[in-house]
Amino acid sequence: MGNECRTKDCECQSEAARQFAGIFDRLADGFFTLDAASRFTYLNPAAYKAFGAGAELLGQVIWAAYPEARETIFETEFRRVRENSATAEFEAFYPDLRIWLRVNAFPLNEGVAVSFADITGWRQAQQRLADLDRDLQQSARLSRELESFANAVVHDLHSPLAAIVGFSQALSEYAVNELAPRSSHYLRRIERAARQMNETTGALTDFCWLAGAPMKRTLLDLSLIAHDCISSLQDAEPRHRVACSIAPCMWADCDPRLIALALEKLLSQAWKDTVHHAAPSIDIGAELGPDKQMWYFIRHNGMGLGTTTSDGVTQPVLHLDSDGFAAAGVGPAIAKRIIDRHGGALWAVAQPREGATVYFTLPGDSASG
């Protein structure tokens, strides 16, 4: 009777062992067990693959098979689990395999059961995220410092530039008959340079503001915004008469303040480029591009851009003034940054002294009717 019970107990234990092995054989993580003497008693296929070994590991002492793991966190934690019937969960770098492991260990029949997973990829991704976060924080700090510096420069330049413009105008008005033609020409050049520098400092402020300006998109009629911009330009320079054509009902999903600033910069640039044309004209419209996306455009017959590249306005572009000198066009760069923030694209098609067309897109619910 006693022998029969022992036989049934052995059969039950064998069946339990088979079930145990069947479960852990299917685990994606590595799993192995050690007896009280730290000898391997079971390894699942994932563990064999990780160790790069076969069934010869069974019965071997883990520290003899892998001496590089002695006196490391692995030996310390496995001993603690076995001696204190505790559990352990830790992450550690295994130099021999050059991988990071996440390990769970718990007591089992006076020995230790261990499951482990290779988390090298996860750790590397964590490190990349940490590096990216550090770079972003550094970029944000530098952006704030540059914005503060730019605002300080603009503030310091405002008064002397205003003085130069004011005194130049006064001298032109009250000493017009006393100055020689060459002196008058130089004075006009000084006044124009001061005005241009004043505009550039203002554009610098706008450029810095864009970095932190929040976006709130809504459906807008670009035609109305363009009309407002043209009206402001005409009021500022009534003697410069430009034939303007604005297509009606150009709807786009965009931020009102940002897109108004972008159109202001692009139209101001076009206005300047047509100032010496006998019959200046600016056309504002939209057309369906080959990609079935709406292309908005500003076309003028002025002096044109200095380059014909499609990405010529990615950086502050060059345009030609009446004396043939190249001048920085910061406005298109600001417009480009605004269009980029909307997820669109901005590019120019131009020939020197033959006019130019600036195109831009505003992805989203946009249409023209």
Confidence of residue 54 (pLDDT cuts 50, 70, 90): confident
Q: How would you classify the pairing of strands 243-246 and 281-288?
A: parallel
Helix (H, G, I), strand (E, B) or coil at 177: coil
The whole-number pLDDT of residue 162 equals 75
Question: DSSP label at 56?
Answer: G
Confidence of residue 207 (pLDDT cuts 50, 70, 90): low
The whole-number pLDDT of residue 305 equals 52
Between 176 and 103, the more confident residue is 103
Tokens of 4: 């029969």
Burial of 149 (0-12, 13-18, 19+ CB in 10 A): exposed
What percent of the chain has pLDDT above 90? 38
Q: 256-273 and 222-236 helices cross at what angle (nearest 10)?
A: 50
What mean pLDDT do residues 333-361 have? 87
3-state secondary structure 188-243: HHHHHHHHHHHHHHHHHHHHHHHHHCCCCCEEEEHHHHHHHHHHHHHHHCCCCCCE
Query: Which DSSP helix (H) or strand (E) runs through 337?
Result: helix 330-341
Does pLDDT of 322 surpass 90? Answer: no
pLDDT digits (tens, 9 = 90+) for 14-45: 555 566 666 677 778 999 999 999 999 999 99
DSSP 71-137: TSHHHHHHHHHHHHT--EEEEEEETTTTEEEEEEEEEETTEEEEEEEE-HHHHHHHHHHHHHHHHHH
What mean pLDDT do residues 330-345 have? 87
Please state the separation of Cα 111 from the chain's center in Å. Answer: 52
The whole-number pLDDT of residue 155 equals 67
Spatial separation of the C-alpha atoms in residues 287 and 113, rounded to whole Å: 70
57-to-50, 66, 276 alpha-carbon distances in Å: 13, 10, 89
Q: Which among 200, 188, 189, 254 has a CA at the least distance from the CA of 224? A: 254
Tokens of 178: 């006393």
Q: Range with the lowest mean pLDDT among 129-143, 312-326, 328-342?
A: 312-326
Between 190 and 239, the more confident residue is 239
What mean pLDDT do residues 209-221 have? 80
CA dihedral 332, 335, 341, 344 (to 10 degrees): -80
What mean pLDDT do residues 85-91 have? 93
The reported pTM is 0.50
What mean pLDDT do residues 209-232 have? 87
What percent of the chain has pLDDT above 70? 77
Burial of 308 (0-12, 13-18, 19+ CB in 10 A): middle
The whole-number pLDDT of residue 94 equals 86
Contact of 279 with 243, CB cutoff 8 Å = yes
Spatial separation of the C-alpha atoms in residues 4 and 167, rounded to whole Å: 118
What mean pLDDT do residues 90-105 have? 89
The whole-number pLDDT of residue 325 equals 30
pLDDT digits (tens, 9 = 90+) for 125-159: 988 888 888 888 887 787 777 767 766 776 677 77
Sole residue written with tokens 């088979």: 18
Q: Range with the lowest mean pLDDT among 183-197, 201-215, 223-237, 240-254?
A: 201-215
The whole-number pLDDT of residue 181 equals 76
The whole-chain average pLDDT of the chain stands at 80
Does pLDDT of 189 surpass 70? Answer: yes
The whole-number pLDDT of residue 200 equals 67
